[in-house]
Amino acid sequence: MPIIKLLDKETINKIAAGEVVDRPSSIVKELLENSIDAGATAISVEIKGGGIDMIRISDNGKGIDKDDISTAFKRHATSKISDASDLAKLSSLGFRGEALSSISAVSQVELITKTQDSPMGCRFLINGGEEEDIEEIGVPDGTTFIVRNVFYNTPARKKFLKSQPTEAGYIAEIVEKLSLSHPEISFKFINNGQTKIYTSGSDKLKDVIYAIYGKETSSNLLDVSEYNEDIKVSGYVAKPVVSRGNRSFENYFINGRYIKNNIVSKAIEDAYKPYIMQHKYPFCVLHIAVSNEFVDVNVHPSKMEIRFENSDEVYELIFEAVSNALKGKEFIVDAASEDSSKEEIKKILKEKSIPEPFESKRLNESGKIYDFDKDRENETVSFIYNDDDYQNQKSEEKNYSETENKISLKSKEPLVEEKSEDKEYKQESLFNDEFLSEKARDRHKLIGQVFDTYWIVEYKDKMYIMDQHAAHEKVLYERLLKKLEESQVYSQQISPSIIVSLTAAEEDSVNKYIEDFKKLGFEIDSFGGNDYAISAIPAGMDSLESKDLFLEIIDEIVNEVKLSKTDSILHKLASAACKAAVKGNTRLSNAEVNALIDDLLSLDNPYHCPHGRPTLISFSKYELEKKFKRIV
């Protein structure tokens, strides 16, 4: 039988390191969060070999005092908390005190730092958790970490890393997220000598979105601003035309921390459901401030997960914030704009200039001067900021102070982002005149039908193309919703009853939402065991359609976090609307199409069918003339 024994310190540290450091991007994340917590206004990240060979992170923050350096590299050493009661008041990004210990256990680390009150800085070396050297040197205020040879002493872990470009991509994503969460900080990311990310630190979120995602995205943004006593939501969501096939463009930050949360994602996606296609996801950058008493960030070592005590309130406010931003906007897709030249976008990005806060400078003070480009015998003071201007900015404009332990949200002031005056960021509307308005209706010129599916309408200098099936489907869907809201949906009795067998989870969902099923027209009763009898169905539907609709609803809600008033149950009416709508390849008369357009005018969101497909697209006269070479 194996003998139980205590592990030695080195083994314990390496095991603990595996919980915090699983790849180079983990190191970058931890060190960047430390720089932000230290009040830095400019941060540089440079990597080589995907961060495996070298990571260099420099900031102009408050630095680390010489007497605290050695302690900072011990396990569970932190300046953020003193005891368990402080966990309820956390507002900093890093707090567990495991980062530096874990990083130094699996790599070779060099630290160069200086506090504002110290006449000289310090250079500290620690390899594989073993301290090697500490000396005084002349450096500016701030901190630089140089991390080399990640996992050099744990080869089993190193072999599971991906290719260098992939690892570099993970690091770039971390820098992007932190840039979006802190637009007041200037970030620079250099990969193998090439600058990949550059933000100005202008404190304007739209500037950062432009720098990372480009003009095409930044020109399609809508402001978001909602608040109550406990929660504030601000930032931007993009028009439905900027949608993606996965959730990687959903950016949201809770009290400055980038996290992933089912409740927040669901609120955003539910608000977008009437506007984008199924299996498409929106673009957003939302800053969400929640009183710390309602939030638990001490959930997972990566701090990427979070729990809300007031999850219903969080869901409702975010849903309302995004919905209000999207409501009443004209979202007719400009077919020509979807083919925007990528080269043109690259050119615009290249031409846009951002003030350079990161130029290096040698110090004219006594003491050793280190240079990054020398070999290890002579090396390295990290990246030095040309920071006379930034230090002035730091003291005069930023007036940085340590973040309060509790975020006060009792103020009723709304969070409204200051808008950039730069012409590059001027909101570009797809259409200045609303095609679907009473004012414009008399000037519509119906041209005809093509492919027995699409109708062409001329209005001013644009040609609009309407999908008759999508348009009719949308009309039927909103009519059904209105009937539901006015309690005008009726049931029809069926005989024999439909018998369905449900799992425990499905049974729980039926009981939870039984009133909603009744509103739809279903009458459901227990039939013994796990069987249920459906004795009445929505009027106008046959038994088979109703059974399929019922099971579809159950499948969708069984694992849902929360349902809103416009969510799964009501949205399943889209299935009924789709079946009843006029199909493509069906000839309609001009009178029928004019009536359909009139019906669209009365809808809240006439631009997308219930599944998110566009009902209308457009071509401008200018684009057509370009195609025919009338304009070169």
Q: Is residue 343 part of a domain?
A: yes
**What SS3 state is found at 437?**
coil
Give the global pTM: 0.64
Q: Is residue 438 part of a domain?
A: no
Task: List CB contacts of 421: < 8 A, sequence separation 6 or more.
Answer: none
- Please indicate, yes or no, if residue 397 is contained in any of the structural domains: no
Pair (612, 521) in one structural domain? yes
What is the reported pLDDT for 403? Answer: 36
Residues 178, 231 within the same domain: no
Strands 42-48 and 186-191: parallel
List the domain range (segments joined by +) for residue 535.
445-616
Residue 144 located in a structural domain:
yes
The pair of three-digit structure tokens given for residue 19, joined into one six-digit string? 């919980």
Query: Does the pLDDT of residue 22 top 50, yes or no?
Result: yes
Q: Which CATH number goes with the domain that contains 214?
A: 3.30.230.10
User: Does the N-terminal peptide bond of residue 357 adopt cis geometry, omega within 30 degrees of 0?
Assistant: no
User: Once rounded to an integer, what is the mean pLDDT over residues 421-449?
Assistant: 60
Q: What pLDDT does residue 608 have?
A: 80
CATH of the domain at 589: 3.30.1370.100
Residue 368 has pLDDT above 50, yes or no: no
**Confidence bin at 49 (pLDDT 50/70/90):** very high
- Clarify whether residues 178 and 217 are in a common domain: no
Domain-terminating residue out of 175, 198, 221: 198
The highest-confidence range among 97-106, 138-147, 402-411, 586-595, by mean pLDDT, is 138-147
Residues whose CB falls within 8 Å of the CB of residue 206, separated by 6 or more in sequence, listed in order: 218, 221, 236, 417, 419, 420, 425
Per cent of the chain over pLDDT 90 is 30
Q: Which of 226, 243, 244 is nearest to 235 (CA)?
A: 226
User: Please, what sign has the CA dihedral across residues 200, 202, 203, 209?
Assistant: negative
pLDDT at 135: 94
Going by pLDDT thresholds of 50, 70 and 90, the confidence category of residue 451 is: confident
Determine the pLDDT at residue 208: 95
Q: Strand 616-620 and strand 108-114: pairing?
A: unpaired
DSSP sequence for 19-80? HH-SSHHHHHHHHHHHHHHTT-SEEEEEEEGGGTSEEEEEE-S----HHHHHHHTSTT--SS
Looking at this protein, which amino acid is placed at residue 435? F
In the chain, the amino acid numbered 293 is E
- Window from 38-42, 336-340, 412-416, 449-453 with minimum mean pLDDT: 412-416
The residue ranges of DSSP E strands in 115-185, in sequence order, are: 121-127, 130-137, 142-148
Average pLDDT value for residue range 240-259: 88
Higher pLDDT, 261 or 413: 261
pLDDT at 460 over 80: yes
Phi–psi pair at 108, nearest 5 degrees: -105, 120
For 192-314, list the strands marked E by DSSP: 194-198, 221-227, 231-238, 243-244, 250-254, 257-258, 281-282, 284-290, 295-296, 307-308
184 and 152, same structural domain? yes
Highest mean pLDDT among 25-39, 307-321, 437-451: 25-39
**Eight-class DSSP state of 395:** I
Last residue of a domain, one of 164, 198, 232: 198
Same domain, 169 and 235: no
125-134, 454-463, 570-579, 594-603: least confident range: 570-579
Distance, CA of 71 to CA of 506 (rounded, Å): 54
Asked if residue 476 and residue 327 are part of one domain, the reply reads: no
Name the least confident of 109-118, 355-364, 606-615: 355-364
- The token duo for 558 is 């069984």
Is 377 among the domain residues?
no
Q: Which of 319, 189, 179 is nearest to 256 (CA)?
A: 179
Residues 232 and 148 occupy one common structural domain: no
Distances (CA, A) of 528 to 495, 497, 515: 18, 14, 20
Please tell me the distance from the alpha carbon of residue 385 to that of residue 390, in angstroms, as a whole number. 9
Q: Which of 260-269, 306-315, 338-347 has the lowest mean pLDDT?
A: 338-347
Are the CB atoms for 304 and 259 separated by under 8 Å?
Answer: yes
More confident residue, 150 or 97: 150
| Average pLDDT, rounded, for the chain | 75
DSSP-H helix ranges across 450-538: 468-485, 504-512, 514-520
In degrees, to the nearest 5, what angle opens at C-alpha 212 toward C-alphas 208 and 217? 90
Q: What would the pLDDT profile of 566-582 be if each residue is shown by its tens digit?
A: 455 655 555 555 555 66
Give the model's pLDDT for residue 44: 97
Place of tokens 């059974």: 547
124 and 209 co-located in one domain? no
Looking at residue 78, what is its pLDDT? 53
Phi and psi torsions of 39, nearest 5°? 80, 20
The whole-angstrom separation of Cα 547 and Cα 440 is 43
Q: Is 231 helix (H, G, I), strand (E, B) or coil?
A: strand
404 part of a folded domain: no
Query: How many domains in the chain?
Result: 3
- The CA–CA distances, whole Å, from 83 to 14, 74, 93, 165, 326 equal 25, 17, 17, 41, 45
Q: For 420-433, how does the pLDDT look when each residue is reduced to its tens digit (9 = 90+)? A: 333 333 333 333 34
Residues 215 and 328 in one domain: yes
206 near 424, Cβ under 8 Å?
Answer: no
Residue 284's pLDDT band (cuts 50, 70, 90): very high
| pLDDT confidence of residue 571 | 58
Instruction: Express each pLDDT in 141-192 by its tens digit.
Output: 999 999 999 999 988 889 899 999 999 999 999 999 999 999 999 999 999 9
**Which residues are CB-neighbours of 418 under 8 A, at least 6 positions away?**
203, 204
| Mode of pairing for the β-strands spanning 333-334 and 616-620 | parallel
Closest CA to 62 of 22, 108, 99, 117: 117
Residue 532, strand partner residues = 500, 526
Long-range contacts made by residues 601-606, C-beta under 8 angstroms, separation at least 24? Answer: 601/436, 601/437, 601/438, 601/441, 603/474, 603/475, 603/478, 604/327, 604/478, 605/274, 605/275, 605/327, 605/331, 605/474, 605/478, 606/436, 606/471, 606/474
Q: 492 lies in a domain?
A: yes
The pLDDT assigned to 361 comes to 38
> 181, 198, 215: which is the final residue of a domain?
198
pLDDT at residue 418, as a whole number: 39
| CATH number of the structural domain spanning residue 56 | 3.30.565.10
Report whether pLDDT(351) > 80.
no
Q: CA–CA separation, 603 vs 290, rounded Å? A: 35
Query: According to the model, what pLDDT value does residue 11 have?
Result: 61
User: Across 425-565, where does the E strand assignment appear?
Assistant: 445-450, 454-459, 462-467, 491-501, 523-526, 531-538
The band of 93, judged by pLDDT with boundaries at 50, 70 and 90, is low
Tell me: pLDDT of 31 over 70. yes
If asked whether residues 22 and 151 sit together in one domain, one would say yes
Tell how strand 250-254 and strand 284-290 pair up: parallel
For residues 84, 312, 322, 331, the Cα torsion angle rounded to the nearest 10 degrees is 140
pLDDT confidence of 353, banded at 50, 70, 90? very low
Top-confidence residue, 583 or 519? 519
What's the rounded Cα separation, in Å, for the pair 223 and 321?
10
- Residue 284 sits in the same domain as residue 235: yes
The 10s digit of each residue's pLDDT in 534-555 is 898 877 666 666 777 677 777 7
Query: Quick one: 103 and 239 in the same domain?
Result: no
Lowest pLDDT segment from 169-183, 374-388, 479-493, 577-591: 374-388
Residue 475 located in a structural domain? yes
Decide: helix, strand or coil at residue 103.
helix
- Among 94-103, 183-192, 254-263, 313-322, which stretch is predicted with the lowest mean pLDDT? 94-103
